[in-house]
Amino acid sequence: MTLNMLKPLCFIIFLALSAAFLCPVAAGQTRPTAQVIAESGNAEGMLYSNKLLGFTILAPGTWHYFSKEQNDNAHAAGRDAVRASKSGLSQAEQAALDRSIDNTQIMFQATPLPLGEPGNAAIFSCGIERLQTATTLEKYAQANKKMVLMTPSVKITKDIYPVTFNGVGFSGFETETSAYGKIYRQKYLVTIRRSVALFFVTTIQNNKYDQMLDYSLKTIRFGK
């Protein structure tokens, strides 16, 4: 599967996960914004770090991080696809969806090969949603699972489960779907930190990448 095949579906789900109408927007934006949080992140070598959220994680060795421009383009494409797929919503619901998307940012993405080269069969993505009201991990994951299942080709292969990385609790679920004649799997993990939903999505079409991505998730480190 080429990246051109993998990317559109990945980001449709990536953004749909953040657009579950779970967190209505209060009057006035909480600071810092999702954009400011995203801009406080930095990828150096294989290490991604984010100062405002206080976490670091390693991408698989030799993988390639997307540039900011590539992330912005992917975010825009996914945003437009999600909005188009929700054309039957009421005006109020559409407005809520738009605000939810506006509170969502891509933090980083990485693939085995540089963007544009054929043969990519996996992508490792991280994003955030700036929450406007309090929620729980399970409620957030449940709402996102419901949203994902609105796509007919998606099925749950592992229902919502808890997992801990270096003392921090996450909630996750796993899916399988078909596209362009291929089968690919996604793992979604989310934690809530400093009024922000921090989520990781791994998309895999080739089994050889399973261990690499599992290892990367285990490298998550959180500061105080």
Contacts of 82 (CB under 8 A, 6+ apart): 12, 15, 16, 19, 97, 101
41 pLDDT more than 70: yes
- The predicted structure's pLDDT at residue 49: 95
Segment 136-191, tens digit of pLDDT: 898 888 888 887 887 778 899 999 999 999 889 999 999 998 877 788 899 999 99
Better-predicted residue by pLDDT, 220 or 117: 220
- The average pLDDT across 22-34 equals 53
Dihedral over alpha carbons 184, 17, 117, 210 (to 10 degrees): -50
Which residue's structure tokens are 């999600």? 82
52 pLDDT more than 80: yes
- The predicted structure's pLDDT at residue 172: 93
Banded model confidence at residue 50, pLDDT cuts 50, 70, 90? very high
Segment 185-218, tens digit of pLDDT: 999 999 998 889 999 988 888 788 888 888 998 9
Q: Is 29 exposed, middle or buried (0-12, 13-18, 19+ CB in 10 A)?
A: middle
- The predicted structure's pLDDT at residue 122: 87
Q: Are 194 and 129 in contact (CB under 8 A)?
A: no
Q: Are 78 and 12 in contact (CB under 8 A)?
A: yes
Segment 66-117, tens digit of pLDDT: 888 887 777 777 667 666 666 666 777 677 667 777 788 889 989 888 877 7
Please state the separation of Cα 136 from the chain's center in Å: 17
Q: Are 135 and 202 in contact (CB under 8 A)?
A: no
- The predicted structure's pLDDT at residue 88: 64
- The predicted structure's pLDDT at residue 208: 82
